[in-house]
A and B are shown apart, each in its own frame.
Chain A
Amino acid sequence: MKLLDVDNVTKNFKGLVAVKNFSFELEKGKLLGIIGPNGAGKTTLFNLITGFYPVDSGTITFKGEDITNLKPHEICRKGIARTFQIPKPLGAISVLDNIMIGAFNRVTSTSKARKIAEESISLVALSQYGSVKANKLPVAFQKTLAIASSLATQPKLLLLDEPFAGLSPTDTERTLITVDNIRKTGVTIILIEHLMRIIMKVADRIVVMHHGEKISEGKPEEVAGDPKVIKAYLGEKYALRK
């Protein structure tokens, strides 16, 4: 079943085309990787899907429903959650309270929210930090916290913006397990990643973005061998040499 359909979406920033006639589809239960060099427009694409920026043109359909230009909280209610490239935790409150904010997306009672939050926190293996203030957490764990909070909103689709960037090998391993655990719950995921190495491991399909456009799409091994991708990543010389 088609869960998300991004159709011909364009976004300009005062003349700079950050996302250009961009289209892709996403099957339920899959993990889609989005890769592309710095400034390719990956984060902007997330901001368009989640209503943080209005699109200039194009439509975004989620579960058969047009969600183009809805407000961020409305998108969240529809079942799309996201994390930010640089984590922005609610610093002054505890880790569990952070996650509870997400949980209130579905429930009104505090005890129910706490229960959902406790499920999320154990899924990402952060339980032992539950009572720690979020701003006391190392950045790697703040990233995990962001995943837990967005998970607590009980999304059908989860957008993760570079969850692996800047992580130590141990934290990378930990986050890989987390992503895997989330997949097992049936949540569909779009994951932005810089490094081919990691995306090859986790993604079912990969979309490659460059200068706001889709330059390649397919299974990880197909994309990895695509000369256009190599060129975008390594420059003209390498593409020719190959």
Chain B
Amino acid sequence: MLRIKMLRSSLKSKQLELLLMTLIALCIAPLMSKSTYFLHVMIMIFFFAFANNAWNILSGYVGLVSFGHGAFLGLGAYTSTLLLLNFGVSPWIGMIAGVILTSIVAAALFLPLLKLSGHFFALSTIAVREIIRLVFEYTPYVGGAMGLTIPIIASSSLYYFQFSSKIPYYYIALTLLLVQILILYKMERSKVGYYFIAIRENEETAKALGVDVKRYKIIALVLSASFSAVIGTFYAQYFLYIHPNSTMGVLISVEMLLSAVIGGSGTLLGPVIGAFVLIPVETVCRVYLGGMWEGFHLVIYGILLISVSIFAPGGIYGKASGLLETLRSKWRKGK
């Protein structure tokens, strides 16, 4: 018994070691490689890991699969950008404004959808996202279909969230992601996290056990939308150019869904793993296939998705932790 405990704690500390080493590696990576291309890929990985995690709250934990998260990301991007362009407001403050506005819009437009179950919810998110996107496309004040360009205000300013080098973006994205993972780690182990999973597994049982299903769905929706808005502001400041299609389109919405599911939805690290696996695939496609094949990476994602649903229904993370568990129990038996 003691042996098993020691074994378990040594495995735990091994995991911790691995985690720390990954962290250190991520922290010093920009110092090792000066390649802006490498930095760009890493930033996109952090960006999507964050976005996937945001999607995962509502769709992975609570099980309300959304094809509409681009709407939230775009609203965040547009809010901070419009505040910056019109009033010179720092995008950091704009980020907070974006979170508030997006929460309100999410609550107002998506709330009625929370009653719907399964496919109907998924389908309706497509419609609502598209309506929001069209509103932006046809409103000249917000740049219409042309979108908005953020002029270079300063060569490097934390206040204006603008940097000529990619390194600050790298660290900002990494910090955002780490803070988010920490919050989600806490969430997963708290009452809220347990209730989210309970709703996903069986709403009736959850209700019978005292879960206010409606309330917790709203909490998940707002959390999920808020995180999407945060990373939307990052998107705007990183690319300094946003338009309805790139921030609110179907591509970005589906990409969040696909990489989270392939990585392992409803888990803490699955969506992050998804980003680490898929973004390099996408980048390689972009580089070698060029603009002609825009969206081709989604074909590969699709193939990956099919393989995952056949061979690893819990996603890459689920498969890996399952394998680890069997190894562990074999080891235990062997001892």
Whether chains A and B associate is: yes
Residues of B within 8 A of A81 (CB): 208-209
- List residues of chain B with CB within 8 A of the CB of A52: 204, 207-208
**Distance in angstroms between the alpha carbons of A92 and B314 in the assembled complex:** 11
Bound complex: CA of A113 vs CA of B193, how far in Å? 13
Stretch at the interface among A58-66, A103-111, A163-171: A103-111
A71 contact set on B, CB distance < 8 A: 207, 212
Report chain B residues within 8 Å CB of A233.
none
- Cβ–Cβ < 8 Å partners of A108 in chain B: 191
Q: Does B304 touch A at the CB level, under 8 Å?
A: no
Encoded as 1 (CB less than 8 Å from any A CB) or 0, chain B from 193 to 215 comes to 01101101110111111111100
| A104 with B205: CB separation less than 8 A | no
Q: B3 at the A/B interface (Cβ < 8 Å)?
A: no
Asked whether, in the complex, the Cβ of B212 is within 8 Å of the Cβ of A104, the reply is no
CA distance A110 to B188 in the complex (A): 10
Tell me the smallest distance from the CB of A66 to a CB of chain B, in Å: 20
Cα separation A150 to B212 with both chains bound (whole Å): 15
Considering only CB atoms, which chain B residue lies closest to A100 in the complex?
A: B194
Check A90/B205 contact, CB under 8 A, given A100-B194, A104-B191, A110-B190: yes
A105, B210: Cβ atoms under 8 Å? Answer: yes
Known: A110-B190, A110-B191. A105 touches B209 (CB 8 A): yes
Q: Quick one: CB contact mask for B297-334 with A, threshold 8 Å, 1 for yes?
A: 00000000000000000000000000000000000000
Let me know if B5 is at the binding interface, CB within 8 A: no
Residues of B within 8 A of A110 (CB): 189-191, 194
- Asked if A160 is an interface residue, CB under 8 A from chain B, the answer is no
Tell me the complex Cα distance, A113–B204, Å: 20
Interface residue from B197, B204, B209, B213 paired with A102 (Cβ < 8 Å): B209
A175 at interface, CB cutoff 8 A:
no
Complex: A102 Cα to B211 Cα, angstroms: 8
Q: Are B204 and A84 touching (Cβ within 8 A)?
A: yes
Most-contacted residue by chain A among B189, B190, B206, B207 (CB, 10 A): B207
Which of B189, B195, B208, B266 is most buried by chain A, counting CB atoms within 10 A of its CB?
B208
The distance from the CB of B164 to the nearest CB of chain A, in whole angstroms, is 46
**B189, closest chain A residue (CB):** A110
Complex contacts, A162 vs chain B, CB 8 Å: none
A135 to B, closest residue via Cβ: B201
Contact B197 A84 (CB under 8 A): no
Q: Is A153 an interface residue (CB 8 A)?
A: yes
Q: State whether B204 touches A88 (Cβ < 8 A).
A: yes
**Size of interface on A: residues with Cβ below 8 Å to B:** 31
Q: Which of A1-25 contact B (CB under 8 A)?
A: none
Q: Which residues of B contact A150 (CB under 8 A)?
A: 208-209
CA distance A77 to B208 in the complex (A): 10
When distances are taken between beta carbons in the complex, the residues of chain B under 8 Å from A92 are: 197, 200-201, 266
- In the complex, the answer to whether A89 meets B202 with C-beta atoms within 8 Å is yes
Please give me the residue from chain A that is nearest to B207 by CB atom.
A72
CB distance from A181 to the nearest CB of B (A): 20
Give CA–CA (A88, B201) in the complex, Å: 9
Q: Are A84 and B194 in contact (CB under 8 A)?
A: no
Give the chain B neighbours of A146 by CB distance below 8 A. Answer: 205
Query: Is A193 an interface residue when CB atoms closer than 8 A count as contact?
Result: no
- Quote the shortest CB–CB distance from B332 to chain A (angstroms): 13
A52→B211 CA distance, assembly (Å): 13
**Docked complex Cα distance between A31 and B266 (Å):** 41
Distance from B1 Cβ to chain A, minimum over Cβ atoms (Å):
14
Contact across chains for A77 and B197 when beta carbons are under 8 A apart: no
Cα distance A52–B204 in the bound complex, in angstroms: 9
B211 touches A101 (CB 8 A): yes
Interface residues in A90-129 by Cβ distance below 8 A to B read: 90-93, 97, 100-102, 104-105, 108, 110, 113
Question: Of B202, B207, B266, which one neighbours A73 at CB under 8 angstroms?
Answer: B207
Q: B195 touching A104 by the CB < 8 A rule?
A: yes
Quick check: is A144 within 8 A (CB to CB) of the other chain?
A: no
A214: interface (CB < 8 Å): no
Q: Is the CB of A88 within 8 A of B213?
A: no
> A104–B212 Cα gap in the complex (Å)?
12
The 8 Å CB contact of B212, one of A73, A82, A91, is A73
Which A residues touch B191, using CB under 8 A?
104, 108, 110, 113
- B197 contacts across to A, CB distance below 8 A: 90, 92-93, 97
Whether A76 is near chain B, meaning CB under 8 Å from some CB there, is: yes
Cα separation A108 to B190 with both chains bound (whole Å): 8
Closest to A155 in B: B210
Select B205's contact among A84, A105, A152, beta carbons within 8 Å.
Answer: A84
**8 CB < 8 A contacts A-B:** A71-B212, A72-B207, A76-B207, A88-B205, A92-B266, A104-B210, A110-B194, A149-B209
Known pairs A81-B208, A92-B197; list 17 more (Cβ under 8 Å): A50-B208, A72-B207, A73-B211, A76-B207, A88-B202, A88-B205, A92-B201, A93-B197, A97-B197, A101-B194, A101-B209, A104-B210, A108-B191, A110-B189, A110-B191, A113-B194, A153-B209
Q: Which 4 A-B pairs have the closest CB atoms?
A: A105-B210, A90-B201, A76-B210, A72-B207
